[in-house]
Amino acid sequence: MASVHIKERSKVMYRGLETIRRGSTAECIKDIFTIHFPDASSVLDCTFGAGRFWKWDHQLEVVGVDIDPPTTDPRCIRGDYRDLPFPAGSTDVLCFDPPFIFTRGLRAVIGTKRFFMGAEAAKYEGRRWSKEQLTMPKNPEELLGHYRRIFEQRAIARQGLILKGQDLVVTKNVDWWSFNVFNLGKELGLGEPTDILIQHSPAYRMRDPRWKNQYKFRRAHCIYIIYKW
């Protein structure tokens, strides 16, 4: 009888990892590797930035690429994710999270240091924007082309691919980034993604009091799409 009670109690205590993660980027990446890439030993983060993905306890060999590295982290090299200088099978997992922002309200709130909304690029050349910033995707359609380029380079990874992005409201319309990526993956022969993880953001910018008019429900989340092969 006692053993039965122990088993029942253990079932209640075990919650597991859920689809919606209320936590940091690093915690989300940790969850993804725990479930989907537990045997991975190396990873290529082709939009490394400040290395937020890897601020958790791990034994991964991390190599980062960034067109405008904002960090002195020795793991990160200068490079363009549209033309990665790595041969096929050179890492276990490939990660991609490009900086982009197309929503004017968000641009006003969080600034534009590493993001580019983009009107006419020439208008900003040599003024507010660096050449690196001018290479950032300027609208949702162009952003999807950047994801296409990463899909085309997927052979670099032996085990799989992690994509991060967000469904956005752009000029009162919704850009369904997640559905667009799903369809792009099918078009390129990857089929359905293996899994998704939704991260709920507690960031203050999602509740900024300067926003007076609301046209759609706010996208206080981002999505991680996982492919394995």
User: 223: closest CA among 170, 189, 182?
Assistant: 182
User: 185: closest CA among 216, 143, 223, 225?
Assistant: 225
Whether 6 has a pLDDT exceeding 60, the answer reads: no
The residue among 123 and 184 whose pLDDT is bigger is: 184
Whether 159 has a pLDDT exceeding 90, the answer reads: yes
**Strand 61-66 to strand 76-78: parallel, antiparallel, or no bridges (unpaired)?**
parallel
Q: How far apart are CA 169 and CA 104, in angstroms?
A: 10
- List the chain domain ranges: 16-228
User: 190: closest CA among 141, 228, 143?
Assistant: 228
| pLDDT computed for residue 126 by the predictor | 47
CATH of domain 16-228: 3.40.50.150
Arithmetic mean of pLDDT, 61-69: 89
Tell me the whole-structure pTM to 2 decimals: 0.83
Q: How far apart are CA 51 and CA 26, in angstroms?
A: 9
Residue linked to tokens 């022969």: 189
**From 92-106, 118-132, 160-174, the region with the lowest mean pLDDT:** 118-132
Q: How far apart are CA 124 and CA 5, in angstroms?
A: 68
Q: How far apart are CA 33 and CA 58, in angstroms?
A: 10
Place 182 in a pLDDT band, splitting at 50, 70 and 90. very high
Query: Within a 10 A sphere around the Cβ of 200, how many other Cβ atoms?
Result: 13
| pLDDT computed for residue 122 by the predictor | 44
Whether 123 has a pLDDT exceeding 80, the answer reads: no
Residue linked to tokens 């960034």: 66
> If phi over 0 gives left and psi between -120 and 50 gives alpha, with beta otherwise, what is residue 172?
left
